[in-house]
Amino acid sequence: MARIVILEEKSPLKIEINGIVRSICRCGLSKNFPICDATHKTIVEEDGKIYKYVNGEKKEIDLNRLFQEELK
Ligand code: FES
């Protein structure tokens, strides 16, 4: 089973557990997910566009086209 998940956040969520502050990845690109490894700081994305990341490679996708192909 696979899922397409769209994440819009570009920064981590800081939480404190037992007095230790941890940064939780919300961009989905951390190599140490769910812990933020600061990869979000290297991302260059345009607002309003949607990208997919496969093996670290970024590609812009057209959601309308994606869903049209799914309906065939
Ligand atoms: S929020 Fe994802 S790497 Fe930092």
The pLDDT of residue 62: 85
Q: 24 vs 7, 18, 69, CA distance in Å?
A: 13, 15, 34
Domain residue extents for the chain: 13-71
Ligand 1 center to residue 56 CA distance, Å? 14
Dihedral over Cα of 22, 26, 27, 31: its sign: positive
pLDDT above 70 as % of the chain: 94
Q: Which residues contact 39 (CB under 8 A, 6 or more apart)?
A: 25, 27, 29, 30, 31
pLDDT at 20 over 80: yes
Q: Which residues contact 29 (CB under 8 A, 6 or more apart)?
A: 39, 40, 43, 53
Ligand 1 center to residue 63 CA distance, Å? 23
What would the two tokens of residue 40 be? 């979000």
